[in-house]
Amino acid sequence: MRDLLLLVPLTALVACSGPRPTASSTPAADPTRELALMGSDAVLWQNASAEAYWIYEQAYEQAATKLMWNIVELAATYGEGQPRKPMAVIVDIDETVLDNSPYQVEAIEHGRTFDPQDWRAWTDKAIARPSPGALEFLLHAHQASCEVFYITNRETAERASTLKNLIAHGFPNADEAHLLLMDGTSDKTERRARVRATHDVVLLVGDQLRDFDERFKDRSVNSGKATVDALADSLSKYFILLPNPMYGTYRDAVQGKGTEAEKHARMKEWFQRNGH
Ligand SMILES: [Mg+2]
């Protein structure tokens, strides 16, 4: 069954003979639909697999352990009676504390890729369920005297529906002061700095490495893996990464920007280049 849906575009590649097809020589009949199908295994896995479910639970269990270590270590850096900043945990929202895989499933079902209007229709409903383990972990962190800040690239127009969704499940600190939406840039560096100015940040959680450091946006050298190695110590101490094969920087780096036809062509080229 694996990659069954991927077989359509891949078979087309295998069937080609002669010079390697280029982006312009093998245009897809319906690039949007084919791009959507290229993501179908990822969406199926994220939405329906017990493996994804357990990886989330496992990651949040590890988050609780790291949180405790970091709280103890931070306390030791303060002298007796020295005034302290409040502690904070920073989390992303999508595919970190809320599960949007039902939106992705519906998109695949209709042969569609990400569409801002479809996305808004989904977030307006405010019905996303908590990611496995997320709510329990954040309640635990809050009990351990950490404020929770939600730094998300949802837009400011999604503020009310996002808060409604978080509040409905009882997420701690689900209020305007703790929700930092995208305001002009997807780069979260400045928003993280704003939290750090007033709080000691003891842990960050996200489904993208960029939820920890913007340097992970650059995937030009070895798909960004050298940056992981370079930042491994701080990643290991302060960051919990959750799985999300459905979308993100890894796929954007291959697809690039432009029309769906251009993105589809780049995806096909990637498969051609990276097979053995
Ligand atoms: Mg996310």
- With CA atoms as reference, report the closest residue to 199 among 182, 178, 215, 214: 178
Distance (Å) from CA 202 to ligand 1 centroid: 19
Please name the helix (run of DSSP H) or strand (run of DSSP E) that holds residue 152, with its range, or none. Answer: strand 146-155
Kindly state the tokens that stand for 137: 């972990």
Distance (Å) from CA 207 to ligand 1 centroid: 5
Distance (Å) from CA 79 to ligand 1 centroid: 37
CATH architecture of the domain with residue range 30-274: 3-Layer(aba) Sandwich (3.40)
CA distance 101 to 249: 17
Residue 258 CB neighbours (<10 A): 10
Domains of the chain by residue range: 30-274
Distance (Å) from CA 89 to ligand 1 centroid: 15
Distance (Å) from CA 24 to ligand 1 centroid: 33
Distance (Å) from CA 211 to ligand 1 centroid: 8
Report the predicted TM-score, pTM, of the whole model to 2 decimal places. Answer: 0.90
- Show pLDDT as tens, one digit a residue, over the chain (276 residues): 344 444 444 434 333 344 444 445 567 789 999 999 999 999 999 999 999 999 999 999 999 999 999 999 999 999 999 999 999 999 999 999 999 999 999 999 999 999 999 999 999 999 999 999 999 999 999 999 999 999 999 999 999 999 999 999 999 999 999 999 998 999 999 999 999 999 999 999 999 999 999 999 999 999 999 999 999 999 999 999 999 999 999 999 999 999 999 999 999 999 999 998
